């Protein structure tokens, strides 16, 4: 029975690495996967996913108005698809999440999504909120704060060490903008800034 999975964490927990490894496992067994990523996330190049440890793969870039069910249905008609992967799932819209659920429910294909749960202000991303509500399986990917405790939050900084409290919810970036912290150190960092 196919399921909709949401693997969530803070920054730098290895979500993209996990996605790339899982997709590779399918390919190694002669199976076909589809990897999706938001078109505006072009850090590794348009339609590319790259992990911090150097793994990478091509992905299909999608826009906010795209119908992911239709994309996968078309690809599946061309050649059978065995699993669908979505990196940076928090960049989707809630409508995209439901389209993924339709892939699971109507096409009987597993869909594995990987993304952040909350933004730099500690608020849920709309797609993450939808995934937390309807995914069949939730899997936390853990990483650690500088103190050694589990990191559950992330701060955004201006590049000069100052913590930001305002700004767009979505601002694509990596270590140059974001730091993963435990809740205690996140609160302290937000109070200082």
* Active-site residue list: 88
Q: State how far the Cα of 44 lies from the Cα of 189, in Å rounded to an integer.
A: 29
Strand spans (E) along the chain: 4-9, 33-38, 48-50, 56-58, 60-62, 83-86, 111-116, 137-140, 153-156, 178-181
Burial of 115 (0-12, 13-18, 19+ CB in 10 A): buried
Q: Which two tokens stand for residue 120?
A: 């730099």
Nearest residue to 127 via CA among 138, 116, 140, 139: 116
- Residue 10, CA atoms < 13 Å, CB-side half-sphere: 24
Handedness of CA 43, 48, 49, 52 (dihedral sign): negative
Residue 151 tokens, joined: 């990191």
């Amino acid at each position: 029975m196919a399921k909709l999975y949401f693997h969530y964490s803070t920054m730098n927990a290895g979500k993209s690495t996990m996605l790339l490894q899982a997709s590779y496992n399918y390919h190694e067994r002669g199976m076909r996967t589809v990897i999706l990523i938001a078109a505006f996330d072009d850090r590794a190049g348009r339609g590319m996913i790259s992990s911090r440890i150097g793994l990478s793969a091509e992905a299909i870039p999608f826009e906010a108005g795209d119908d992911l069910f239709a994309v996968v249905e078309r690809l599946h008609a061309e050649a059978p698809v065995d699993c669908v992967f979505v990196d940076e799932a928090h960049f989707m819209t809630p409508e995209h999440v439901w389209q993924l659920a339709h892939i699971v429910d109507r096409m009987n294909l597993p869909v594995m999504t990987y993304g952040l749960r909350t933004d730099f202000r500690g608020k849920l991303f709309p797609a993450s909120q939808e995934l937390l509500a309807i995914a069949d399986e939730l899997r936390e990917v853990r990483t650690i704060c500088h103190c050694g405790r589990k990191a559950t939050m992330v701060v955004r900084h201006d590049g000069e060490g100052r913590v930001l409290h305002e700004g767009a919810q979505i601002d694509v970036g990596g270590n140059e903008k974001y730091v993963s912290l435990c809740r205690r150190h996140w609160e302290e960092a937000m109070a200082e800034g």
